[in-house]
Structure 1
C-alpha cells in the first residue's frame, strides 16, 4: 500500500534522480483529452494553469509519448517549470502493477503488458511514475481535498473515493494508505456491471431524471457500504459539481461527501505520486 503522508519538508537534496523535489508535473491521460500542470506537492496547488490537449487517436504508447515529450519541452521555458530532473507523474486509465499496464480503458490495447514507467522514462529522459487514474484522483482528494482530516493528515479509517463519469472509478484508502487498482465499477448490479447502470454517462444515455438516477446510486452505494464498511465515501467526477441533486437524497449509514478538487484531481494526484515515488522517500 502507498503511504500518503511522508515527511513533506521536501528540502534535503541527494544526487541525480534521487533529488527530492517539491514541484512536479502531473499528467492525466483521458480517452479524449490529456490534462497537465505543474503542482506544488506540499499544498496540492497547481502552480501553472491547468492545460489540456487532445489525446491522440489512436492513443498508442508511441503517440502519447510524443505528446508528453512536447508538453515537457514546452514547460522548460515556463517560470514555474519543475527542476530538469524532477520526476513526472502520469495518471493512466489502466490497471498498473509494478509499472506495467495490465488493462487499457479508452486507450489503445498496445498499452497492455507494456512497462509504462520504463517506456515513458526513456522517452522523456527523466523519471516517470505511473498510476491508475482513479487512484490518482483518490490520492489527491485524501491528501488535499475532501478526505483531509485534522492537521492536514488523511481521515483515519477506511475511505472510499468513487468517481462517476464515463464509467465508475474507485480508490480505497485505509488509514491513509492506498489499496491500488480496485475496479468497483465492475461490480454487478442486477446482472450487469454497475458502471453501465450508475455512471454519469448512463444517466445521460438513458435520460434519467435525478430521482431515478438517485435510485440507481442508492442501490450501488448500499452495496458498497455492505461490502466495505467505509468510514467515509467521497464522490468525484464532473457530476459531483451537481451533488445537491443526489447526495442529500441517499440513505446510508456512512458519511458521503462531494469531492473538492474536481477535474484537477487526477493531475494533482499524479504529481503527488511522483513525489511519493522519489528514491529518497523509499
Structure 2
C-alpha cells in the first residue's frame, strides 16, 4: 500500500471506486435481499458486479418475523453454498438487505415485514449462520450497486438513487462511499409525505397518466436537488423498465436523471459488495488492534 493510501480513512479505502482495498476483496460473495413478497439471494462476482448463476428465491413467510425470515435466509445460504462456484466458507462474506432503517446491524423500522423487527439485532439473529454477515437497508443496497457497477459507475460526486415502488426508497453514494439510511421518501413534498403521492403505487392508486406522473417526479426531484445537490439521479424500482413513459417529462433538475441498469439484481449485487467490504474493514481493524498491542508490549519491555 502506498503512503497516499495509508493517509486515507479506512472507510474511504474500502469503498472508494478506485480503492486498493477493492482489489483485495474476494472474487465472490453472497447477497440476500429480503423483500415484502420474496427473499432472494445469489452469488456475486465482485470484480464484475454480476451474478454467478441464477438467483434463488423463496416467498417471504407470513408473518415475516425475524425468526421466520432467518430460517429462509439459512435455506437460501445453504442452497447457494452447495453450488460449484460458491465462495469458500472460510472467506465467506454475506450482505443481507432489510426493508428498514439499519444502524450497526440493529433494525430500527419495518416496511413490508413484521413490526417485531423493530429493535431486532440482526447480527445476533443471524450469528449462527455460515460466514460473516452484515445487514443494511434495501434501497441502500440497490443504490450502492448502481453507483459502483451500474448507471453511476465512474461518476464522481453524489449519486442519488431513487427507487419507486410501494414507497420511495433512496440511496446516497458520494465518491463511492455510501451514506446510509437517507429515507428521502419521507420528505414533505407539496404538503404530503413524498411517497404517499409520488411512489409507483401512488400513481397506480390514482390512475395517473404517465406524462402527468413524469411532471410530478420532475417537481419531486427538483425539490430533492435543492437539498442534496447530487451530480446524478438514478431511477430504480420495477417502474424503471417503463422509464421511457415518464422520464421525458423530467427536465427541470440540473443533474442528469437516468434509469437504473442492474434491474432486479441490484439489491443482491449491492448486498454482496457491502458484506465483502465490511468484512475487509473488520479484518483491517483486527489487524490494527494486534499491531497496537504488539507495539505497546515492545514499548513496555524497552
Q: TM-score, normalised by structure 2?
A: 0.85
2:227 maps to 227
Report if the CA contact (8 A) 2:39-2:72 is conserved: no
More helix by share: 2
SS at match of 2:234: strand
Aligned length: 267
CA shift for structure 1 position 4 = 3.9
Structure 2 equivalent of residue 268 of structure 1: 269
- Of residues 24, 30, 37 in structure 2, which corresponds to 1:32? 37
In structure 1, distance between residues paired with 2:63 and 2:44:
28
Q: Provide the TM-score with structure 1 as the length reference.
A: 0.90
The equivalent residue for 1:16 is none
Shift of 1:23: 1.0
Alpha-carbon separation, structure 2, partners of 1:67 and 1:30? 12
Alignment of 1:118-267 (within 5 A): 118-122=124-128, 124-149=129-154, 155-251=155-251, 252-267=253-268
Unaligned ranges ≥5, structure 2: 1-10, 286-302
Q: What is the SS of the residue equivalent to 1:163?
A: strand
- 1:224-280 Cα offsets, whole Å, 9 max, x none, are 111111111111111111111111221221111111001100000000001101133
| Higher RCO structure (Cα 8 Å, ≥6 apart) | 1
For 1:24 and 1:125, locate their aligned partners in 2 and report how far apart those are by CA, in whole Å: 12
Aligned counterparts of 1:247 and 1:212: Cα–Cα separation in 2 = 11
Q: What is the RMSD computed on CA atoms of the aligned residues?
A: 1.5
Q: Deviations over 1:191-221 (max 9, x none)?
A: 2111111111111111111122112212211
State the match for 1:57 in structure 2.
62
Partner of residue 80 from structure 1, selected from 65, 82, 85:
85
For 2:218 and 2:229, how far apart are their aligned partners in 1? 15
Instruction: Provide Cα deviations, 1:17-47, integer angstroms capped at 9, x if missing partner.
Output: xxx5321111000011111110011111100
Please name the residue that 1:14 is paired with: none
Q: Which runs of 4+ in 1 moved over 4 A?
A: none
